[in-house]
Structure 1
Amino acid sequence: EPLAPDNPEAAGAMAVAQILGDQGVEVEYVRTTAQAVAAADAGTTLLVMGTFLLTDEQVSSLAGTDADLVLVSPEPWHVGPLTDWTLDSTSNAPADSVEPACTDPDAQAAGPIANRGFGFRATGDDAVVCYPTSSDPLTGAYATTTAGGRRVVLIDDARILSNARLEQDGNASLALRSLGRHEHLTWYLPTRNDPGAAGQAAPGAGILPDWTRPLAFQLALVALALALWRGRALGRVVTEPLPVTVRAAETTLGRGRLYRRSRSSGHAAAALRAGTARRCAARLGLPRTAGAVDVIDALARATGRTAEQVESLLYGPPPTDDVGLLTLARMLDQLESEVHRT
């Protein structure tokens, strides 16, 4: 699993976990929200490695813990319930090396880091933003605050914790100081198979009153009866060839443009990536319960790409502007075409 503390490969994070263990920090690796909440006591640290797969209910459960929080590559809409901040994505160009340029002692001790993310803009009381990615002092790659009596840290680029990039610049120092403040670290890597995510109502499901459900059912019956009546009156359906063939790529790009118009780049990228992963997994004969590692390995073998390339394409940071979203849509379509040729 990418960024798992027991993964020795380049995309894993075993190195930082082992160093923490050598320094006396007990690292507990969990995969469900229930396990994370149970282990996140006061005087410990809870690391949440990405929030993309979490529901609002799971985020609320994590917000109720007393542990210090380290959020790595969090989704902007999840940061509000976990801190007092408002977080916005940015489209600043990644930098090979960034100076801390802030007063946070951990960042100052670490020095420059190799940030390959796009940065974020954090606004809120007591927000200390470090490693600026633009001239805006609130825009950076690392931020800290104290919320509800606990320390909260945001890290933009998850790859600074990876085995491949831990030794670059001050990545290791920043990671160890952020994660090693207490003797116990809960390392939470969310999964799609978390029972805590099952059964949650879709957003907006509780807005309509109860009487709308039977009314909708009755209207559906009326519509069906009308369709049957009109079908007999007009005769059988006559088919005709379509005047033009629409490629699957046009559907993918069109969906990307619709999301772009609504300025929902993060949601758009998540939907496009999930669809590509699902279709490719089915094409390669993987079960519906297959995890991200299984999908990445199967796609790497089928397309000849490296596992890191597939991981970045399907599970990397979301694009933050229109160009990035359309580029991602084209790259996902290319990946699918490579799978269908195998």
Structure 2
Amino acid sequence: MSTTVGQRWRTGRWIALALIVISVIAAVSSFLTAPRPGGRMDPDSTGPDGAHALVALLRDRGVDVVVASTVADVERAARPDTLLLAAETYYTRGEDLLSRLTAVPGDRLLLEPTSRVRQSLAAGIRIDSATMLTSEPDCDLREANRAGTVQLGATDTYEKAGDADVTRCYGGALVRYQDSGRTVTVVGSADFMTNGGLLREGNAALAMNLAGEQPRLIWYAPQKPEGDAAAGSSLTDLMPDAVTWLLWQLCLVVVLLAVWQGRRLGPLVAEKLPVVVRASETVEGRARLYRSRRARGQAAEALRIATLQRLTPRLGLGPNASPAAVTSAIAQRCAGDPNAVHHLLFGPPPSTDSDLLHLAHALDDIERQVTTS
């Protein structure tokens, strides 16, 4: 008896040890392969809103990308042959910081500038709310024409505010003009440069063309306030660094305890429904689900399959009858054109809700005529 208990204990101990090792390996792998966090347009972030992919592409192309977290970093890296990319500029607060940015030499590429930043760094343009956004360049700017169609998303549009000769692309979402020997480019959206937006249409080409014009690029996308409001600190800024590691260790302990104490799931057990659901409620619920996901193709396919399942026995056809045989049999019982019948039963999915509703009515009409004939 004692020998059997000892064997079970040794077996259970090895199983428990194996589970602990597997949990630790899984936790470490998840931590190492997790996306690098960061804010929007953060050059080190691999999340959807980060910009690590574009920075890596520019560096592979030979562009010297200098990441600047503060205005002082921008001033140290700026040269006449550089391009300053400024994004997330709502973190740049204070007229003194904007004045220092204005004095920086080189070209400028502003993404979603605030009104104060636009007035300081791009005084030659202003907001134009009357212009309709387009996805085609419709301008003579080489960088935009080489990129072609893009998806900028929600964006501001601009027009000239003075005597400067402003080139407007994509309905004014991208503008460029010359100011005292420097090229100033403004884009009303930064989404096309993020990791999640590069794969849409020609977004990657437009981002590379705009950001890779100069051999040296200063990437200025601050992730925390600088200037008047920089003195404020959040709760995470006040926490010691060791607290983060402590939290990770506590999470690992919780996972291990859950694995240790978790019960093994048994086989599925069939149970009766506690209530009877009416067929009409099921149909309405499924219809709302289709409509919320805009699944017109799946809805149309369900309607056509149900119609054919009801009609083929009435027509004396088997379940594997060909579309041509079904169409011919229905056309003999109805007054419709065989081509129209084939289009309704086996045609492409509808493109709009109105077309789907028309298809449902037409299928009902065919079924009624076959039933009464």
Q: TM-score range by the shorter chain?
A: 0.5 to 0.7
Deviation of 1:198 after TM superposition, in Å, equals 6.4
Change (3 A) 1:3 1:131: same
Aligned residue in 1 for 2:56 = 18
Q: Quote the residue 1:33 is aligned against.
A: 71
Q: 1:174 aligns with which of 182, 202, 206?
A: 206
Q: Following TM superposition, where does structure 1 have runs of at least 4 consecutive aligned residues deviating by more than 6 angstroms?
A: none
Which of the numbers 168, 176, 195 marks the counterpart of 1:144? 176
Task: Tell me the CA shift for residue 99 of structure 1.
Answer: 0.4
Alignment of 1:57-68 (within 5 A): 57-68=96-107
TM-score by length of 2: 0.49
CA distance in 2, matches of 1:71, 1:167: 21
Q: 1:73 to 1:91 in 2, by over 3 A?
A: farther
| Residue aligning to 1:254 | none
The offset of 1:50, in angstroms, is 2.7
Please state if 1:161 is matched with 2:198.
Answer: no
Q: How far has the Cα of 1:29 moved from its partner?
A: 0.9
- How many pairs are equivalent? 200
Q: Deviations over 1:145-184 (max 9, x none)?
A: 1112111111111110011110211111111111111111
1:192–1:163 distance in 2 versus 1, CA, 3 Å: closer
Q: Secondary structure at the match of 2:204?
A: helix
Structure 2: which amino acid aligns with 1:186?
I
Aligned partner of 2:147 in structure 1 is 110
Which residue is 2:108 aligned to?
Answer: 69
Whether contact under 8 Å (2:41, 2:88) holds in the other structure is: no
8 Å contact from structure 2 (residues 42, 223) kept in 1: no
Structure-2 separation of matches of 1:110 and 1:199: 38
Read off the aligned partner of 2:65 and give its amino acid letter: V
Distance (Å, rounded) in 2 between the aligned partners of 1:157 and 1:47: 13
State the SS of the aligned residue for 2:170. Answer: strand
Over 3 Å counting, the alpha-carbon distance change for 1:91 and 1:73 in structure 2 is farther
Say whether the 8 Å CA contact 1:110–1:174 is kept in structure 2: yes
Q: Structure 1 residues 22, 190: closer, same or farther in 2, change over 3 A?
A: same
1:255 alignment counterpart: none
Conserved? CA contact 2:127–2:156, under 8 Å: no
3-state SS in 2 of match to 1:186: strand
Q: Which amino acid aligns with 1:3?
A: M
SS in 1 for 2:184: strand
* Secondary structure of 2:59 counterpart: helix
- Seen in structure 2, the aligned counterparts of structure 1 residues 165 and 191 have a Cα distance that, compared at 3 Å, is closer
Please tell me whether the aligned partners of residues 84 and 147 of structure 1 are also in contact (alpha carbons under 8 angstroms): no
Which consecutive residues of structure 2, in runs of 5 or more, have no partner in the other structure? 1-37, 245-373
Shift, 1:190, TM fit? 2.2
Q: Determine which structure has more spread, i.e. the larger CA radius of gyration.
A: 2
- Decide which of 75, 100, 104 is 2:137's aligned counterpart: 100
SS at the partner of 2:86?
A: strand
Once superposed, what is the RMSD of the aligned Cα atoms?
2.9
2:20 aligns with: none
Q: Is the 8 A contact 1:117 1:141 kept in 2?
A: no
Confirm or deny that 1:90 pairs with 2:129.
Answer: yes
Taking structure 1 as reference, are residues 56 and 85 closer, same or farther at Cα in structure 2, changes over 3 Å only?
A: same
The 5 Å alignment of 1:285-304 reads 286-287=236-237
Q: Is the 8 A contact 1:33 1:190 kept in 2?
A: no
Q: Offset at 1:76?
A: 2.4
Instruction: Report the 3-state secondary structure (helix = DSSP H, G, I; strand = E; otherwise coil) of the residue aligned with 2:153.
Output: coil
User: Is the CA contact (8 Å cut-off) linking 1:70 and 1:179 kept in structure 2?
Assistant: yes
- Residue of structure 2 equivalent to 1:131: 170
Q: What's the % identity of the aligned pairs? A: 27
Secondary structure of 1:69 counterpart: strand
Cα distance, 1:89–1:50 mapped onto 2, change above 3 Å: farther
Rounded to whole Å, the distance in 1 between the matches of 2:187 and 2:154 is 10
1:286 Cα offset (Å): 4.0
Listed as ranges, the matches of 1:229-248 within 5 Å are: none
